[in-house]
Amino acid sequence: MRNKPVILVTRKLPQAVEERLQRDYQPILNPSDRLYSDDELIEISAGVDAIMPCHTEKFTADVIARLPANVRAIANFSVGYDHVDVAAAKAKGIIVTNTPDVLSDATAEIAILLMLGAARRASEGERIMRAGKWKDWSPAFMVGRQVTEKRFGIIGMGRVGQVVAERARGFGMDIHYYNRKRLDGDLEKGATYHETVEDLLPNADVLSVHCPATPDTMGLLNSERLSLLPDGAIVVNTARGGVIDDDALVAALKSGKVYGAGLDVFNGEPENIHPGYIDLENVFLLPHIGSATEETRDAMGFRALDNLDAIFSGAEPRDRVA
Ligand code: DGY
């Protein structure tokens, strides 16, 4: 009987996912959930048929070049794959897959939480409570912004963007979006399409970012573009930190050009995020937990396994990106 393929699983995964891995493969698990260095990753890849990593492992061109030839696939436990140099993987004949669709609902929930948190000063309120500093109530106390019936601007109307739009419609918000391609009417559902980001921005009382991090979107929200937002807009990011120029956003938050920001993803995360965010009252910060629900974590694992199953049965994996 043919040996089961060996899969290097870089992080601790949900029990049901690890059980399926144990049943169908020879997994090398990481019960301590320790983040491997590049050198360790390369060393323990000796003899593995595929790697099932998260966005925390960086497959740069250098790492890919040093991976042993036995590695046939990188089946990401993530929808984003900006942590993988896809061109280098392709050149080396390594199949790369991701996990789209299954985290759209969870990420949309976090985008709405961030919007409301920023608009209603949730972080500030929480800190007042926890510090025992709540001494009085008055009509002037902790007054925030209402989002109901405001304009909700979306950069990147893919799967997550579309679910977020649906949730925002629940607040009576008027949806505007920029996407590389205009959506068909049945998906657009009355949203207003803008052909450029520059056209979208003046129409976004709340701006939510849902595009991937690519060379084209890095630093997309710079000071020139932020200046196009209506005064007092709210900025939400659940996509990737790289899409935002942090100096520019911090300056806009300080000047009041941007009323508040809700951020789940950061340049330099987890340990080197822009210090400007930490001191500001008007930012609502979360530690990259857009997809962190029990349901979604299971679904991400199963989707990554479906891709591996296809690869090892000689079929084309559904979510191949390289
Ligand atoms: C994703 O799937 O891309 C999320 O950001 C978690 O990695």
* Token pair belonging to 284: 């609502």
- The mean predicted confidence, pLDDT, of the chain is 98
Query: What ligand 1 atom has the least distance to the C-alpha of 55?
Result: 7
For 31, 76, 96, 110, 193, the CA distances from 319, given in Å and listed in that order, are: 27, 10, 8, 24, 27
Q: How far is the CA of 255 from the centre of ligand 1 (A)?
A: 31
Given a cut of 80, is residue 246 above it in pLDDT? yes
Asked if 126 is an active-site residue, the reply is no
CB contact at 8 A, 91 and 320: no
Residue 1 pLDDT: 52
Residue 2 pLDDT: 66
Give burial (CB, 10 Å; 0-12/13-18/19+) of 32. exposed
For ligand 1, whether the C-beta of 78 sits within 6 Å is: yes
Q: Residue 302 is inside which H or E element, if any?
A: helix 294-312
Given a cut of 90, is residue 92 above it in pLDDT? yes
Distance CA(29)–CA(212), nearest Å, equals: 29
Identify the active-site residue in 66, 182, 269, 320.
269
Identity at 140, one-letter amino acid code: A
Which is it for strands 151-155 and 95-97: parallel, antiparallel or unpaired?
unpaired
Distance CA(166)–CA(77), nearest Å, equals: 26
Percent of the chain residues past pLDDT 90, beyond the cut: 99
Q: Which residues pair with 52 in a beta bridge?
A: 9
Given a cut of 60, is residue 233 above it in pLDDT? yes
For ligand 1, whether the C-beta of 104 sits within 6 Å is: no
List domains and CATH numbers for the chain: 6-102+294-313 (3.40.50.720), 104-285 (3.40.50.720)
User: For 44-88, what is each residue's pLDDT tens digit?
Assistant: 999 999 999 999 999 999 999 999 999 999 999 999 999 999 999
Atom 1 of ligand 1 has which residue's CA nearest to it? Answer: 78
Given a cut of 90, is residue 273 above it in pLDDT? yes
For 121, 142, 251, 269, 280, the CA distances from 277, given in Å and listed in that order, are: 14, 20, 10, 12, 5
For ligand 1, whether the C-beta of 301 sits within 6 Å is: no
Distance CA(209)–CA(41), nearest Å, equals: 32
Query: Of 10, 13, 35, 54, which is best to mutate to test ligand 1, by the most ligand atoms within 8 angstroms of its C-beta?
Result: 54
Atom 6 of ligand 1 has which residue's CA nearest to it? Answer: 78
User: For 122-159, what is each residue's pLDDT tens digit?
Assistant: 999 999 999 999 999 999 999 999 999 999 999 999 99
Distance CA(114)–CA(128), nearest Å, equals: 18
Percent of the chain residues past pLDDT 70, beyond the cut: 99
Asked if 269 is an active-site residue, the reply is yes
DSSP 155: E
Query: What ligand 1 atom has the least distance to the C-alpha of 103?
Result: 2
Distance CA(120)–CA(68), nearest Å, equals: 51
Distance CA(88)–CA(70), nearest Å, equals: 16
Q: How far is the CA of 78 from the centre of ligand 1 (A)?
A: 4
For ligand 1, whether the C-beta of 11 sits within 6 Å is: no
Q: Which residues pair with 96 in a beta bridge?
A: 74
Arithmetic mean of pLDDT, 244-256: 98
Given a cut of 90, is residue 260 above it in pLDDT? yes
Query: Of 10, 55, 74, 298, which is best to mutate to test ligand 1, by the most ligand atoms within 8 angstroms of its C-beta?
Result: 55
Distance CA(236)–CA(181), nearest Å, equals: 22
Asked if 40 is an active-site residue, the reply is no
Residue 156 pLDDT: 98
Identify the active-site residue in 20, 288, 297, 303.
288
